[in-house]
Amino acid sequence: MVTQAEREHEVAKISLDAAKDKAAKILAEGKAEAAVTVMKHTAEAQAVKAKIAAFGTGELYAEYKLIQKLAPSVQRILANTDGPFADLFRRFVGTPKAKPKATK
């Protein structure tokens, strides 16, 4: 009986060591995966940061991205020469903004 109990005790110790090794492996894989994800997102953020720097401001970069998305579907533009929609395109064609008429 003592011999069988010692054998079961040894088997339990080996099982415990195996479980600890498996847990350490899972933890190491998780940490490695997290590190890869952080590096990937950091690289993507640096790329966006560089693009924004090239445009000067985040607003100009966002406007560029908007125009990039809209441009393929625009076939005609019916708008007057004043207003925010016209201002958006005026910068790209070099047309100066119309000045308001002076009142006396």
> For residue range 46-104, what is the model confidence (pLDDT) as tens digits?
999 999 999 999 999 998 898 889 888 877 767 677 777 777 777 766 655 555 555 55
Say yes or no: 51 and 92 in one domain.
Answer: no
Nearest Cα neighbor of 97 from 79, 81, 73 is 81
Side chain identity, residue 80:
N
As for how many domains the chain has, the answer is 2
Residue 101 lies in a domain: no
| Residue 80: per-residue pLDDT | 73
- Burial of 82-95, coded b for 16+ CB within 10 Å and e otherwise, reads eeeeeeeeeeeeee
| Strand, coil or helix: 104 | coil
CA atoms lying within 13 Å on the CB side of residue 25 = 6
Say yes or no: 50 and 83 in one domain.
Answer: no
Domain ranges, residue 12: 1-55
Say yes or no: 4 and 26 in one domain.
Answer: yes
Say yes or no: 10 and 45 in one domain.
Answer: yes
* pTM across the whole model: 0.53
